[in-house]
Structure 1
Amino acid sequence: MQAYKRSPTRGFAWIAEGFRLWKRSPALITYLTFGYLLILVVLSVIPLVGQAVASLILPIISLGVLNGTLAVHEGRKVGPDVLLSGFKSNVAGLITVGGLYLTGTLLALGATALFDGGMLLKIMVGNHPLNEEAMATPGLMNASLFGTLLTTPLMMAYWFAAMLVGWHGLSAPKAMFFSLIACWRSFGAFSMYLLGIFFLVVGGPALLVATIAQSSPALASLLTVPLPLITIPIVFASFLPNVLDIFGHEPPPAAHG
Structure 2
Amino acid sequence: MQARQLPLHRGFAWLKEGLQLWRRNPALLTFASFGYLLMLLLVSVVPFIGQVLASLLMPVLSLGVLNTCQAIAKGRKAGPDVLFSGFQQNLPALLMIGAAYLAGSLLVLLLTALADGGALLQVMTNGGKLDPEIATSAGFSVALLLAVTLSTPVMMAYWFAPLLAGWWNIPAPKALFFSFFACLRNWRPFLAFSIGLALFGAVLPGVVLGIIGMASPTLATLLSVPLPLLLIPMIFGSFYANACDIFGEPEDESAQA
TM-score by length of 1: 0.94
Amino acid at match of 1:223: L
d(CA) in 1 for partners of 2:6 and 2:199? 21
Amino acid at match of 1:198: A
SS in 1 for 2:7: coil
Gaps of 5+ in 1: none
Number of equivalenced pairs: 252
Task: Report the counterpart of residue 250 of structure 2 in structure 1.
Answer: 251
* 1:197 maps onto 2:213 in alignment: no
Gaps of 5+ in 2: 253-257
CA separation of 1:27/1:87 partners in 2, compared to 1, >3 Å: closer, same or farther? same
SS in 2 for 1:5: coil
Task: Report the counterpart of residue 109 of structure 1 in structure 2.
Answer: 109
Question: Quick check: 1:212–1:219 contact (8 Å CA) kept in 2?
Answer: yes
d(CA) in 1 for partners of 2:111 and 2:231? 35
How far off is 1:136 after superposition? 4.2
Task: Report the counterpart of residue 228 of structure 2 in structure 1.
Answer: 228
Amino acid at match of 1:14: W
Alignment of 1:1-257 (within 5 A): 1-248=1-248, 250-252=249-251
d(CA) in 2 for partners of 1:130 and 1:63? 34
d(CA) in 2 for partners of 1:23 and 1:127? 37
Amino acid at match of 1:224: S
How far off is 1:130 after superposition? 3.3
Deviations 1:77-111 (A, max 9, x none): 10100000000001100000000010011011101
Q: Which stretch shifts more, 201-210 or 54-63?
A: 201-210
Q: Which stretch shifts more, 23-32 or 205-214?
A: 205-214
Question: Quick check: 1:244–1:251 contact (8 Å CA) kept in 2?
Answer: no
How far off is 1:126 after superposition? 2.1
Deviations 1:145-178 (A, max 9, x none): 1111111011000000000000011111110000
Deviations 1:164-217 (A, max 9, x none): 000011111110000000000110111111122222322121112112223333
d(CA) in 2 for partners of 1:214 and 1:80? 41
Task: Report the counterpart of residue 255 of structure 2 in structure 1.
Answer: none
CA separation of 1:229/1:127 partners in 2, compared to 1, >3 Å: closer, same or farther? closer
Amino acid at match of 2:44: S
Deviations 1:59-89 (A, max 9, x none): 0000000000100000001010000000000
How far off is 1:137 after superposition? 5.0
CA separation of 1:246/1:144 partners in 2, compared to 1, >3 Å: closer, same or farther? same
Deviations 1:107-145 (A, max 9, x none): 111011111111111111125223425414550110111
Percent identity for Structure 1 against Structure 2: 49
- Aligned-residue CA RMSD in angstroms? 1.4
Question: Quick check: 1:209–1:220 contact (8 Å CA) kept in 2?
Answer: yes
